[in-house]
Amino acid sequence: MTRAILTPDLPTPSGFQLIRCDASDGPVALQMGRQILEELAKEGKAAHYIIDETDEEFFDFFRKPEFYPLGVLDPNNALVAVGVASHRQEPIQKYLPFIPAEDVQASSKSVGYIEFIQVAANSRGRGFQRLLFAELEKWLRAQGTLYATGSVSPENQYSLNNFKSQGYREAGRYVVKDLNYPRILMVKKL
């Protein structure tokens, strides 16, 4: 299979490549997410870490045009990191009641969302999460999005710190219905 190799704005370690993921990457990304959950469970940290989509819904991240899935391939062409953003046609006020009125008006039908970013355990500490944030945000800006949002479990200090290090701030807290799953909404002006 021929991969769509992208040229990122940030450097990547030698031999690693940034790619535009496709439907064939969905199962690999899902397995990576499940392995991360298993690691967290072993550490006793998995109470509110879930993949809340069915497998088919998760695979939609890699099939549907409103999603922009990116991945990082290692020198052996194995997927070691993946991130997905979406550009939604929804009222921004639903997500971000504190945004200045002029920005709400300008972006009233466009919400950028970082769906997820995950990095395999053996590839952490190489800047892949920062790389994926930067490239997903670049795509959101190209879609006309003024603000990027994402949600994180309050227990996930690692992800919270990563969002904050990329310029996101807490916009509010909520609980996912039917799951009793607490989340923190993070936001960044692009």
What pLDDT is attached to residue 18? 96
Q: What is the CA radius of gyration of the chain?
A: 16
Domain hosting 81: range is: 4-189
What pLDDT is attached to residue 45? 65
Alpha carbon distance 133, 171 (integer Å): 18
- Kindly give the confidence (pLDDT) of every residue in the chain, 190 residues in length, as a single tens digit, with 9 standing for 90 and above: 557 899 999 988 899 999 999 999 999 999 998 888 888 778 776 555 556 678 888 899 999 988 999 999 999 999 999 999 998 766 555 555 556 566 655 555 567 899 999 999 899 899 999 999 999 999 999 988 888 889 888 888 888 999 999 999 888 888 877 777 888 888 888 8
Phi-psi sector, 31: left (phi>0), alpha (psi -120 to 50), beta: alpha
What CATH number does the domain containing 120 carry?
A: 3.40.630.30
Structural domains of the chain, count: 1
